[in-house]
């Protein structure tokens, strides 16, 4: 049951954060482009949320079950967050590199990087919450 809760909360909050981020920078896109991005956001976030929880977080919890159970929620986040922050850090670096060449391409990639990063962090936090408090 915690898997479904993790997927649902990760999906809903990542879509909400993605829409907020898009609304902050919508003036850099054309109006029809923004509507396509929102549609893609709904579909891609569902696929990524399910795949991330099932294929990354679930094996992570199975492999490190003993370590996770030893920590409280805050201790587990402090212990493991570094490893889950490496991919978003890479995306942010790529976003900056693309932004130096073309501002529009950098903004589009930053939307993708922000979306994937929110799924990674939210899924990780919710999954640890259910594993350490259960």
Whole-number Å distance between alpha carbons of 73 and 84:
15
Q: What is the pLDDT of residues 31-59, one digit of tens each?
A: 788 888 889 999 999 999 999 999 999 99
pTM of the entire predicted model: 0.85
* Residue of higher predicted confidence among 111 and 46: 46
Enumerate the domain spans of the chain: 2-133
In this prediction, residue 42 carries a pLDDT of 94
In this prediction, residue 102 carries a pLDDT of 84
Kindly indicate the confidence band of residue 16, based on its pLDDT and cuts at 50, 70 and 90.
very high
Q: Return the beta strands (E) in the chain as ranges.
A: none
């Amino acid at each position: 049951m915690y898997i479904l809760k993790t997927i649902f909360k990760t999906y809903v909050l990542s879509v909400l954060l993605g829409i907020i981020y898009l609304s902050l920078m919508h003036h850099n896109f054309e109006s029809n482009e923004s509507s396509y991005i929102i549609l893609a956001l709904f579909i891609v976030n569902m696929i990524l949320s399910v795949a991330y929880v099932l294929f990354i977080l679930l094996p992570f919890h199975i492999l490190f079950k003993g370590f996770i159970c030893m920590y409280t929620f805050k201790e587990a986040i402090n212990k493991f967050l570094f490893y889950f922050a490496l991919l978003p850090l890479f995306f942010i670096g790529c976003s900056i590199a693309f932004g130096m060449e073309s501002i529009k391409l950098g903004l589009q990639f930053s939307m993708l990087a922000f979306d994937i990063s929110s799924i990674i962090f939210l899924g990780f936090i919710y999954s640890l919450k259910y594993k350490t408090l259960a």
